[in-house]
Amino acid sequence: MRRRAVVAAGLALVSLGSGCRRAAPPPEPWHEDVGYRWRELHVPSSRRGPGFTELPASRTGISFVDSVTLDSALWNRHLAQGGGVALGDVDGDGLPDIYLTSNEGSNALYRNLGDWRFEDITAKAGVAMTGRHSTGAVFADVDGDGDLDLLVSTLGGGVALFLNDGHGVFTERTTEAGLASHAASMTMTLTDVDGDGHLDLYVANYKTRSALDIYPPQERAFNQVVRQVGQRFEVVPKFQKDYRVVDRPEYNLVSMQQRADPDAFYLNDGKGHFTFVPWTKGRFLDETGSRSPRRRNTSACRPSSRMWTVTVRRTSMCATTSRIRTCSG
Q: Is 130 exposed, middle or buried (0-12, 13-18, 19+ CB in 10 A)?
A: exposed
Q: Are 205 and 183 in contact (CB under 8 A)?
A: yes
Segment 297-313 shows an average pLDDT of 41
| Count of residues in the chain | 329
Within the chain, where are the H helices? 2-18, 57-60, 70-75, 122-125, 211-214, 222-225
CA angle in degrees (0–180, nearest 5) for 313-199-284: 60
Which pLDDT score, from 0 to 100, does residue 2 have? 40
Q: Are 162 and 143 in contact (CB under 8 A)?
A: no
| 232 compared with 292, residue with greater pLDDT | 232
Q: In 3D, which of 262, 131, 276 has the Cα closest to residue 206?
A: 262
What kind and span of H or E run contains 225? Answer: helix 222-225
| 182 compared with 42, residue with greater pLDDT | 182
Bridge partner residues of 222 (DSSP)? none
CA angle in degrees (0–180, nearest 5) for 305-309-311: 150
Confidence of residue 14 (pLDDT cuts 50, 70, 90): very low
What is the value of pTM for the model shown? 0.74
Which pLDDT score, from 0 to 100, does residue 140 have? 97
pLDDT, averaged across the chain: 82
Q: Are 277 and 267 in contact (CB under 8 A)?
A: yes
